[in-house]
């Protein structure tokens, strides 16, 4: 009897710990993706809890339009994951489901690009927390002619391209284009 009660108490403690960890992870995900706008190349997963037929995993095309069951075409480009969740929830609520619980997650961010004076220029998978120094490491380092003072980022915001000067510790965003220029000897 005491052993059974002890096992039950341990199981409750373990399940409570897992639930808290899951909530913390979701809160961290929401905090990091709260302002991130979806764009071409992002791989997303849309889930409606309890409705396996409504699970969609897709890569956003240049148009940003996805075809979602019951709702048809939805333009996800320039939306946050929270905005897309709300749009799908509102579309499913009432006609199809009573209280849909929708979760949109980013499986893989769109790539960033690094060119100029790096050993292997090209596109690389984005990782949260990525800096120019880390991006250069992914591109197998700077060349001998690289100027660490002449680094520029081209970033698209609201359809407009912005170009600004950066340094090795500048954090990158998905879709950024990093240009490392030559230094003069």
Give the tens place of pLDDT for each residue, 39-93.
999 999 999 999 999 999 999 999 999 999 999 999 999 999 999 999 999 999 9
What's the pTM?
0.71
**DSSP letter, residue 109:** P
What are residue 6's phi and psi, to 5 degrees?
-65, -45
Tell me which of 2.60.120.10, 3.40.50.300, 3.10.560.10, 3.40.1190.20 is the CATH number of domain 112-182: 3.10.560.10
If one counts every other C-beta atom within 10 angstroms of the C-beta of residue 145, the result is 13
Per-domain boundaries in the chain: 35-108, 112-182
Fold of 35-108: wza like fold (3.30.1950)
Please provide residue 15's backbone torsions phi and psi, each rounded to the nearest 5 degrees: -65, -35
Tell me the C-alpha distance between 182 and 145, whole Å.
5
DSSP string, 12-42: HHHHHHHHHHHHHHHHHHHHHHSSPPP-TT-
């Amino acid at each position: 009897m005491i052993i059974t009660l002890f096992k039950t108490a341990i199981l409750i403690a373990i399940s409570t710990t897992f639930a808290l960890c899951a909530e913390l992870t979701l809160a961290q995900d929401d905090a990091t993706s709260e302002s991130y706008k979806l764009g071409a190349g992002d791989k997303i997963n849309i889930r409606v809890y309890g409705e396996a037929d409504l699970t969609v995993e897709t890569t956003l095309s240049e148009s940003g339009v996805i075809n979602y069951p019951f709702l048809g075409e939805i333009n996800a480009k320039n939306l946050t994951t929270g905005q897309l969740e709300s749009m799908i929830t509102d579309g499913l609520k009432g006609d199809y489901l009573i209280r849909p619980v929708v979760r949109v997650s980013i499986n893989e961010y769109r790539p960033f690009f690094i060119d100029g004076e790096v050993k292997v220029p090209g596109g690389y998978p984005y990782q949260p927390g990525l800096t120019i120094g880390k991006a250069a490491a992914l591109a197998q380092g700077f060349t001998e002619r690289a100027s660490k003072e002449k680094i520029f980022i081209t970033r698209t915001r609201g359809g407009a391209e912005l170009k600004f000067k950066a340094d090795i510790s500048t954090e990158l965003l998905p879709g950024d284009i990093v240009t490392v220029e030559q230094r003069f000897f």
